[in-house]
Amino acid sequence: MALVAMSFFTPSTSFAIKTPDTSKELSKEEPAPAPVEEVDRSKSSPVNSASQRRLQQHGIGLGLGQTFLFGNYGKHGNDKITVDLLYSYAASYSFDLLVDAHISEHKDKNERTKVMGLATSIKGRLVEFDNLSPYFLGGLGFYAPKMKREVNGKSKWSDQKLTFGLNFGGGVDLRLNDNYVVGVMGQMHWPFKVQQSDQSDVKGYYMKLLITGMYLF
């Protein structure tokens, strides 16, 4: 009986529980996600690209057109075609520094009016439509007007002196490409009067209507 009882309680077979082998699955590394390329919005935006082209750009060019004399200037000289030398510096997207250098002599029979100026002005862009941009300008400058008039029956030149003056106007620019700009500009120059010792003071004002062309670099 003892042998029977021992054989009954002793297991004749063994049971093993199998667990899934996950070591291989855990060792597998997932592929890293592809890097996301950053989009440079400054290149895709036409407004930003235009501002980058204009920012800190120098420009030099010419203005060709008519100079109209007014006041006493017009009494001693006639209007004529003249050429101006222009320089610009783009300080920001909306504002430029414009420098206008000019000299011209206007005849009227035996009398003369000679205007000479170096005018600096701030050029502000109102709005930009595609490559077309209207603007206004205004500033100060140095002038040295001179007249040849009849004094005591003789033609005599006035004393040429440096004086301050105002300028203001407006126009429109058309950008042809990154380097060339053409446009139309109207600018009024108002030098302060130049006092004379032996004749009447030299005073007056004049306006320029110009076709402009600029090379930007």
Q: What's the token pair of residue 101? A: 């250098």
User: Does the residue 76 lie in any domain?
Assistant: yes
Q: What pLDDT does 54 receive?
A: 52
Determine contact, residues 168/206, Cβ cutoff 8 Å.
Answer: no
Average pLDDT of span 151-174: 94
Please report the pLDDT score of residue 205 as a whole number. Answer: 98
Neighbours of 30 (CB within 10 A): 5
pLDDT at 35: 58
Cα distance between residue 136 and residue 124, in whole Å: 5
Does the residue 21 lie in any domain? no
CA distance 141 to 124: 17
- How many CA atoms lie within 13 Å of 33's alpha carbon, on the beta-carbon side? 3
Please check the confidence at residue 46 and state whether its pLDDT lies above 60: no
The percent of residues in the chain predicted with pLDDT above 70, rounded, is 74
Give, as one character, the DSSP assignment of residue 194.
B
Q: Sorting pLDDT into bands at 50, 70 and 90, what band is 64?
A: very high
Q: Could you count the other beta carbons within 10 Å of the beta carbon of residue 91?
A: 15
21-32 pLDDT per residue, tens: 555 454 455 555
Rounded to 5 degrees, what angle do the CA atoms 127, 187, 80 make? 140
Compute the average pLDDT of residues 152-158.
Answer: 89
Following DSSP, what letter does each residue of 82-97 receive, concatenated?
Answer: EEEEEEEEE-SSSEEE
Domain count, the chain: 1
85 inside domain: yes
Task: Output the average pLDDT for the chain.
Answer: 83
Tell me whether residue 16 is in a domain.
no
33, part of any domain:
no
d(C-alpha 107, C-alpha 75), whole Å: 10
Residues in Cβ contact with 49 at an 8 Å cutoff, skipping those fewer than 6 apart:
42, 43
On whether residue 184 sits in a domain, the answer given is yes
Assigned domain for 175 exists: yes
Residue 197 domain boundaries: 56-216
| CA–CA distance, 131 with 193 (Å, rounded to integer) | 40
Instruction: Judge whether 186 and 206 are in contact, CB under 8 Å.
Output: no
- Record the tokens describing residue 75, joined without a space: 């009494």
User: Does 202 map to a domain?
Assistant: yes
Which CATH number belongs to the domain containing residue 133 in this structure?
A: 2.40.160.20
Report residue 147 as tokens: 């007249």
Q: How does DSSP assign 125-179, residue by residue? A: E---BTTEEEEEEEEEEEE--EEEEEETTEEEEPPP--EEEEEEEEEEEEE-SSS
Q: Do 167 and 121 form a contact (C-beta atoms < 8 A)?
A: yes
pLDDT of amino acid 43: 45
